Structure 1
């Protein structure tokens, strides 16, 4: 395995996440164009239906891939399905056919396919040797980079029109479908059927620890994706471009630091980065909610990004540590189920709290959840976390 292969796989993960985040900064404008009301509730519905599809289909894609012993055909299918769904959304507006309910159905369809491309691209990085922390750090920098650039670029695209982000997303996913077919497929075929594969990782209770941290981390990301968008608009009067830049204050350090911090965890272990990072991450989220100015909020978002980068790649590396080679697709699918539930929770719970009790209450819950999960799971984390990345952690 070469470093170039790791870089190419990371580029695929980057593009898939980049397309997802393009719609967030001006989601109220897109919802309005699709026939919905430009409110936080309609924006919540549009973002949440995609995440619901993520939850339902993530492990299915992974287990099916494990069973067949191939990743690439399923990534191509996922990217192609996402392309079709985005183009159908744009066509529904241009032709005037359908309403917001149709748009939600197409969004669900898009999510069901896009999660296959995303989850299995990360799983292909799990299949590489070279150190689990390095490989998941590469996944993390791609995820964070896609999110970091997706938000501000999406904000700029909205200046061209409400459909511009989804048209760009369709074009990029079609490129992924072509480009990924040139990569080698290193999946290990297993003899179990899909139900047995899913039951296999369910029978590993230790996986609940990284799954729980994945839930909390994605809760925060979903929270900022929706509530942060409306909060920064209402509190500081920012337009989509300004909101995208403020979100980038979180996503840029979150992206750039994931590879070195993931590699560091191969040396020092998983416990300290996960435990210390999660507590600090939660506290930094609270700090953003209390920030009185745009400048202080931007500094708080930078702190959130740095501390999030300390946690995210290490939790994914811990998943790789705990499963066999032929369980990786299902295990990463399970991780993405919890992550998607967290992202969905950040949108639904965060939106509900912000609407009923105000933005500060929403920030308190988002930050407090991260701290609470760290405290509750710390004893189990000490028991299951290996000192290093495991026997396959040799660079080639």
Structure 2
């Protein structure tokens, strides 16, 4: 299970948003994230808000689709009562946990609730995460027939020893099969990788990158392993059973995948994400990085509308109880002030290839751009054209860039 929820102001039981949330809503897109908090087993590195069957304490997995659909309907009512402009939903993302532990019909029912209560824009991107061992060809066809457009497979590694350290249970040989099934169903495919696992070598990583490319996906994400406090992995490292991931080796691994993907025709569009074309980027994730509006459905899910951020109760049983009572499942929220929103704009905007317009930065930050160019953290040609765009070195040191732009 994830760590404690953020501190914030109490969220009102009726869910109503402050008037400021409605300002400019018509110029922002609206996305939905549907959190499915169930896993067969808990991976040792995972800090997400997920639960195995023995941890549900009265909550029923079989009831979850109806509970989530009820929050989707509640969201429509809250937006109306708060005066926030109604918009058709541009992206929907099912994450977890393992969404595909639920029957395909449950995911379809949750998606239909979004369609019924909010409307889904023509050409909307609709994604689910999936483990390679949690779907078959028929399941993927059911999703495609219901309007899903994309699936993101948690491959993580092609090396059994590395998967064992991460406590991932799937057979790496199954990844090409599920990718092929998804393509035949008409779905775009993304594969997710993790690098820097304790004991993983550069050769192991090279094997995984080549295996991912061999499946010919539309999109690849690659995230450096972060050791989260409170996880089994953190305890193993603290006790000396495993070694802390080496930062220099992780940098080498990032450079390797960036080079291999470029050679294969992929382009980076966010620090940890590459796509074959602009049309295969994750539009849902771009909505986060561009500070659009999104509503998070489910236990522990976070939402953001017009600078107002809130988060739901964590446990599925507590979530189910609030839904049954007809009150908001949110337990806390915060309204970002202009300074915090500007910091977030730079923090997120610097990570994407489109970058940040130099003219949009305060004068001190514009002065800092020259130093970032000199240190090979920002692309000089792009900066002269008016955009702060990270170089390869800048992507490795993105936090440094943000600190210098916001100092």
Instruction: Please report the TM-score for the alignment, with normalisation by the length of structure 1.
Output: 0.26
Structure with the larger RCO, 1 or 2 (CA within 8 Å, 6+ apart): 1
| Structure with the higher fraction of residues in helix conformation | 1
- Which protein has the larger Cα radius of gyration, Structure 1 or Structure 2? 2
| Structure with the higher fraction of residues in strand conformation | 2
